[in-house]
Amino acid sequence: DTAVSQTPKYLVTQMGNDKSIKCEQNLGHDTMYWYKQDSKKFLKIMFSYNNKELIINETVPNRFSPKSPDKAHLNLHINSLELGDSAVYFCATSNSLQETQYFGPGTRLLVL
Amino acid sequence: AQSVTQLDSHVSVSEGTPVLLRCNYSSSYSPSLFWYVQHPNKGLQLLLKYTSAATLVKGINGFEAEFKKSETSFHLTKPSAHMSDAAEYFCVVSLPGDDKVIFGPGTSLSVIP
């Protein structure tokens, strides 16, 4: 019954590795997002997808690539992980950019 | 350019006393405004939102916020704080027809027993 789910919940990995975080929503929303939250709780929007089209890319390094296989999924793939990528990554969904966003529980990434 | 300012990075109140979390925005157009709450180790949850209807908006858990266009403010209040209100609070702005949603830096609320 979880509206927005993310896997994995925790991810510990070495520098230089490639990893993916998955997000799934069962709300039927048209727009999905990825956010990065740093240790100071500052929330930065990374990407959003609307009907499988990228509509925001906030100057995120190209090591990060969102992939949307269908309307219910927006996965985040990260190449060549760096120490500074350690953060909590949140997936969210909404009917549109101006409407309420529903957040997943977060994925806590630690790069060693 | 749009922006969101949350004037206090941290607010501490005693249980049972009022809560005021301040938010100011900068926008050339009438925005949609939101307050989200994030409890420790959880995702964000909507508290309330303003979308050009009544200027006083009531949300969940006894919170409310008033949109004041002249002051470009959307402060969040609650008459009596509860221990369970301790969390991080984010003020958010989005513009009709724009492609941006802007989060404020957050205010951490502590409630002292």
The pLDDT of A31-55, averaged and rounded, is 88
**Which residues in chain A have their CB less than 8 angstroms from residue B94's CB?**
97-98
The pLDDT of A75-85, averaged and rounded, is 96
Look at residue B98 in the predicted model and tell me its pLDDT: 65
A101: closest chain B residue by CA:
B46
- H/E stretch holding B67 reads strand B64-68
Between A1 and A28, the higher pLDDT residue: A28
In whole angstroms, give the CA distance from residue A103 to residue A100.
10
Inter-chain contact A43–B32, Cβ cutoff 8 Å? no
Closest CA–CA distance from residue A99 to any residue of chain B (Å):
8
Q: Say yes or no to pLDDT of A92 above 80.
A: yes
B45 inside 8 A of chain A by CB? yes
Between A103 and B3, the higher pLDDT residue: A103
Average pLDDT along chain A: 91
Inter-chain contact A100–B46, Cβ cutoff 8 Å? yes
Tell me which residues of chain B have a pLDDT lower than 70.
Answer: 1, 96-99
B98 inside 8 A of chain A by CB? yes
**Which residues fall within 8 angstroms of residue A55, CB to CB, at 6 or more apart?**
A31, A48, A49, A97, B99
Look at residue B3 in the predicted model and tell me its pLDDT: 86
Q: Say yes or no to pLDDT of A58 above 80.
A: no
In whole angstroms, give the CA distance from residue B49 to residue B28.
19
Q: What stretches of A1-112 show up as alpha helix (H) in DSSP?
A: none
Q: Are B37 and B94 in contact (CB under 8 A)?
A: no
Look at residue A101 in the predicted model and tell me its pLDDT: 94
Q: Are A70 and A50 in contact (CB under 8 A)?
A: no
